[in-house]
A and B are shown apart, each in its own frame.
Chain A
Amino acid sequence: MNEMRLTEREDVTMAESKISARGVQVYYGDNHAIKDVDVDIQDKTVTAFIGPSGCGKSTFLRCLNRMNDTIDICRVEGDIRLDNEDIYDKRVDPVQLRAKVGMVFQKPNPFPKSIYDNVAYGPRIHGLARSKAELDEIVEKSLRRGAIWDEVKDRLHAPGTGLSGGQQQRLCIARAVATEPEVLLMDEPCSALDPIATSQVEELISELKENFSVVIVTHSMQQAARVSQKTAFFHLGVLVEYGETAQIFTNPRDPRTESYITGRIG
């Protein structure tokens, strides 16, 4: 049994992947939250994690940039590789990792500073700009990528917290892309937004995949179907099914996936 699964794993690794996770286990104290998850996330694609609440999709996402390190009782086992380097290796500084793997959170959380400073913060602490002009350029480019430049270009020094919810979330995306990450993790980025803001952010995600590998956790199956190329379905801490989005939604292999996308569980 074990050997068989190992050979399967070998097969998956053959494909071109940005992040590959093997046998990931996550424990919150005694609670076994993620059970033996294997996933390969490809470059320049949008991968969606779907599943009912509490199924561990956000927990797994937070393993990918070691955000779980900040939780004392959280323990991660297994092997997660970014460009074939183990991100849980002792030599890895999570700060360096997070510069490569950016994150956008469920609730828009701009810093209580100006719009400009929000975006400029990452480049500043990573030393990406050598001059004020260069920093201005990065800020403009990031805000354009965040599809919010036109709305804020005249008030870059107004507080970021004064924007509307949807604008704040796009500002947070602009802030995340400002550090030129290779992977962008999004933890239910639209759950606090209205439908119009949601569609703006979804459009943005489709554009972002030209440059980044995007991993998005979402409650909304429609959203997963709209924006992603690959979909992973989590249930009770187990990765039930992972494949092409079209295949998952039209022809799921696992009965649990089918019950979920048809609305019988979750």
Chain B
Amino acid sequence: MTDITHASPGRPNSILAPDDRTRRRNAAEARFRLYGILAIGVAILALIFLLTSVVRNGAGAFTQTYISLEVALPADKLDKNGNRDPAEMAKVSTFGYKPLIKAAIQDAMAAQGIAIDGLKKPESLVSEDAAAQIRNYVLAHPEVIGGSRTFDMLASGRIDGFYKGRVTMQSAERDSNVSPEQLRLADALKEAGLVETRFNWNFILWPDASENRPEAAGLGVAIIGSLYMMFVVLALALPIGVAASIYLEEFAPRNWFTDLIEVNISNLAAVPSIVYGILGLALFINFGGLPQSAPIVGGLVLSLMTLPRIIIPARAAIQAVPPSIREAALGVGASKMQTVFHHVLPLAAPGILTGLIIGLAQALGETAPLLLIGMVAFVRDFPAAPPEGLFDPATALPVQIYNWTQRSDPAFVERASGAIIVLLVFLIVMNAVAIVLRRRFERRW
């Protein structure tokens, strides 16, 4: 009996006490788990930091401060000849409307009994956009001339920032764009119920605005441009990518040529996106004669970039379909194409969809190639409805973010962070759609 136990040295007699070897193995395993937990912890912390900083900076972009004033619209200023001729009325530019706004503020101060010492330029509480807003309204409704009307006007960026904590009395003293007196006036008007901060649909609906009017800047054109490009990418990259992967996996003979194609697809997936931008500039704009800044060109460039990233996972998904399913279909007399479309493709669909959505999400967030094809331009006009709109100038969400971060007014930092939130929401929606579609296809089993 003892002989047998001594025959294997290094192995303890009892399994109740772990030996050295087991202890070392268990320690190694515990260490490895710890590394894993650490790695995940770092990732979660980074994510939380990113999200909190973006939300803290960007949440303000979704609310905006408005000043509600009754503006008198005297006929002698706006329509000197009194004939309500639109062409003549249009000659009064926004400069002609600025005194009206100044008068409206002074009226409001008088009506509320507000008096502030040393107050200069009370009209700069209101955004420069307000004059254009009133002018557009008057040109569209000439009958209001001679009376007065209450307008909900955007507050200027600094006043808006005052209510979001970006501007304080101390910072206003050193600021050439706003004075503490103006801030006090804003507070007084707020007490009178004339200043209100509320949800800002215009951030999503309006186009971009110029440097000194951050309060009027919106993402409308960028969102439409991005949607148009996604539409182009989806319409081109999905069918071409899926067809290419089906052909390569199911029909193509295995030879040096298909091997070459395979290597090239893998390489193209790793090519920096800015290279695709140069390719798009040379191919579609210089050679193809397509317009600059147009979503169609952006979509084409992004399609080229996305194609290999769709083909690789699609091929993997098709490869993962068990061969027994193909044999079963061929065995009952299905043709090659029936086998692929009735059995292989539905089974590969979840994988193909995942690849597609990841590819689209990458395309949605891509900036570099768009800079090269001119989508970085300042675009205020909405593109028309598709298909003509695909050829109109537009910007894209990531490019808009890039643009806004370059502007000096701190209000644009808030705008840029808000745009990042919108972009992230788009990505989350796309991923959610992918998950729902995947579930739906998987239920077919």
Residue on A nearest B442 in the bound complex, by CB: A112
B286 within 8 A of A: no
In the complex, A159 has a CB within 8 A of chain B? yes
Chain B, range 352-400, C-beta contacts under 8 Å to A: none
Chain A residues within an 8 Å CB radius of B347:
112
Q: Contact size class for A?
A: 20 to 34
Give A121's nearest chain B residue, CB to CB.
B332
Task: Give the chain B neighbours of A223 by CB distance below 8 A.
Answer: none
**Once the chains bind, are B324 and A95 in contact (CB under 8 Å)?**
no
CB–CB B333/A109 < 8 A: no
Instruction: Give CA–CA (A121, B254) in the complex, Å.
Output: 30
Report the nearest A residue to B321, measured CB to CB.
A112
Q: In the complex, A104 Cα to B330 Cα: how many Å? A: 11
Bound CA–CA A23/B66 (angstroms): 93
Q: Which of A129-151 contact B (CB under 8 A)?
A: none
Q: Which of B253, B333, B342 contacts A99 (CB 8 A)?
A: B333
**A98–B332 contact, CB under 8 A?**
yes
Chain B nearest Cβ from A99, distance in angstroms? 4
Whether A72 contacts B333 by the Cβ 8 Å rule is no
Partner of B329, one of A65, A102, A111, A178: A111
Contact assessment for A113 and B330 in the assembled complex, using a CB-CB cutoff below 8 Å: no
Distance between Cα atoms of A178 and B334 in the complex (Å): 13
Q: Do B328 and A179 touch across chains, with their CB atoms under 8 A apart?
A: no
Residue A70 interfacial (CB < 8 Å): yes
Nearest CB of chain B from residue A221's CB, rounded to whole Å: 26
Q: Is the CB of B444 within 8 A of A126?
A: no
Assembly CA distance A150 to B342 (angstroms): 28
A150 CB to closest chain B CB, in angstroms? 23
**Main SS at interface, chain B:** helix
Contact, CB under 8 Å: A102 / B328: no
CB-CB contacts of A100-126 with B at 8 A, as 1s and 0s?
001111010111110000000110011
Q: Write the nearest CB–CB distance from A191 to chain B, whole angstroms.
A: 14
A172 within 8 A of B: yes
**Counting CB contacts under 8 A, is A251 at the interface?**
no
Q: Distance in Å from the Cβ of A108 to the closest Cβ of chain B? A: 9
B165 an interface residue at 8 Å Cβ cutoff? no
Contact of B335 among A95, A172, A179 (CB under 8 A): A95
Let me know if A67 and B331 touch, CB within 8 A.
yes
Q: Mark B309-336, 1 if CB is under 8 A from A, else 0.
A: 0000000000000101111111111110
Nearest CB on B from A92, distance (A):
13
Q: Is the CB of A176 within 8 A of B327?
A: no
A105-B324, A125-B338 known; A111 and B331 CB under 8 Å? no
Q: Are B332 and A67 in contact (CB under 8 A)?
A: no
| A175 in the interface (beta carbon within 8 A) | yes
Asked if B343 lies at the interface with its beta carbon under 8 angstroms from chain A, I say yes
User: What's the nearest-Cβ distance from chain B to residue A202, in Å?
Assistant: 21
**A residues 188-220 in Cβ contact with B at 8 Å:** none
Beta-carbon contact of A109 and B254 below 8 Å: no
Instruction: Tell me the minimal C-beta distance from B307 to chain A in angstroms.
Output: 27
CA distance A103 to B329 in the complex (A): 10
Select from chain B the residue with minimum beta-carbon distance to A65: B331
Say how far B314's CB is from chain A's closest CB, in angstroms.
19
Among the listed B324, B326, B331, B333, which residue makes an inter-chain contact with A126, where contact means beta carbons less than 8 Å apart? B333
The answer to whether B333 and A179 have CB atoms under 8 Å apart is yes
Bin chain B's interface residue count.
Answer: 20 to 34
Closest residue of chain B to A62, judged by CB? B327
Q: Report how many A-B pairs have Cβ atoms within 8 Å.
A: 67
CB neighbors of A among B183-217 (8 A)? none
Q: Which of B253, B329, B331, B338 contacts A72 (CB 8 A)?
A: B253
B287 interface residue per 8 A CB criterion: no
Q: How far is the CB of B186 from the nearest CB of chain A, in Å?
A: 66
Indicate if the CB atoms of A176 and B445 lie closer than 8 Å.
Answer: no
Question: How far, in angstroms, from A161 to B324 measured CA to CA in the complex?
Answer: 13
Q: Are B335 and A111 in contact (CB under 8 A)?
A: no
Please tell me if the beta carbons of B327 and A110 are within 8 angstroms of each other in the complex.
no
Among A72, A103, A172, A179, the one with the most B-chain Cβ atoms within 10 Å of its Cβ is: A103
Contacts of B331 in A (CB 8 A): 65, 67, 98, 102-105, 176
Q: Shortest CB–CB separation between residue A112 and chain B, in angstroms?
A: 4
A102 in contact with B445 (CB, 8 Å): no
Shortest distance from the beta carbon of B337 to any chain A beta carbon, whole Å: 10
Q: How far is the CB of B30 from chain A (nearest CB, A)?
A: 40
Closest to B347 in A: A112
CB distance from A187 to the nearest CB of B (A): 10
Pair A67/B327 contact, Cβ less than 8 Å: yes
In whole angstroms, what is the CA distance A96 to B445 when docked? 28
Query: Which residues from chain A contact B335 at a C-beta distance below 8 Å?
Result: 95
> Which listed residue (B253, B324, B338, B444) contacts A109, Cβ 8 A?
B324
CB–CB B334/A111 < 8 A: no
CA distance A11 to B324 in the complex (A): 39
What is the CA–CA distance of A175 and B324 in the complex, to the nearest angstrom? Answer: 14
Q: Does B330 contact A67, Cβ atoms closer than 8 Å? A: yes
Contact of A121 among B322, B324, B342 (CB under 8 A): B342
A126 to B334, CA, bound (A): 8
CB B322 to nearest CB in A, in angstroms, measures 8
Contact B325 A95 (CB under 8 A): no
Measured between beta carbons, the chain B residues less than 8 angstroms from A172 are 328
Task: Assess the A96–B343 pair: CB atoms within 8 A.
Answer: no
Q: How long is the Cα–Cα vector from A38 to B347 in the complex, in angstroms?
A: 40
Inter-chain contact B254/A125, CB cutoff 8 Å = no
CB distance A175 to B330 under 8 Å?
no
> B445, A122: Cβ atoms under 8 Å?
no
Closest Cβ–Cβ distance, residue A208 to chain B (whole Å): 16
Asked whether A95 lies within 8 Å of B444 as measured between CB atoms, the reply is no
A70 touching B330 by the CB < 8 A rule? yes
Chain B residue with the shortest CB-CB distance to A96: B333
Which residues of the partner chain A approach B338 to less than 8 Å between Cβ atoms? 125
CB pair A109–B445 under 8 Å, yes or no, is: no
Which residue of A67, A111, A176 has the most chain B CB atoms within 10 A of its CB atom? A111
Interface CB pairs A-B, < 8 A, 16: A67-B330, A72-B253, A95-B334, A98-B331, A99-B333, A102-B331, A102-B332, A104-B331, A105-B331, A109-B324, A111-B329, A112-B445, A113-B444, A125-B334, A125-B342, A126-B333
Instruction: Please report B residues at the A interface, Cβ cutoff 8 Å.
Output: 253-254, 322, 324-335, 338, 342-343, 347, 444-445
- In the A-B complex, list the 3 residue pairs whose CB atoms are closest, starting with the nearest: A99-B333, A109-B324, A103-B331
* Known contacts A72-B254, A95-B335, A176-B331; 5 further A-B pairs (Cβ under 8 A): A70-B326, A103-B331, A111-B328, A121-B334, A176-B332
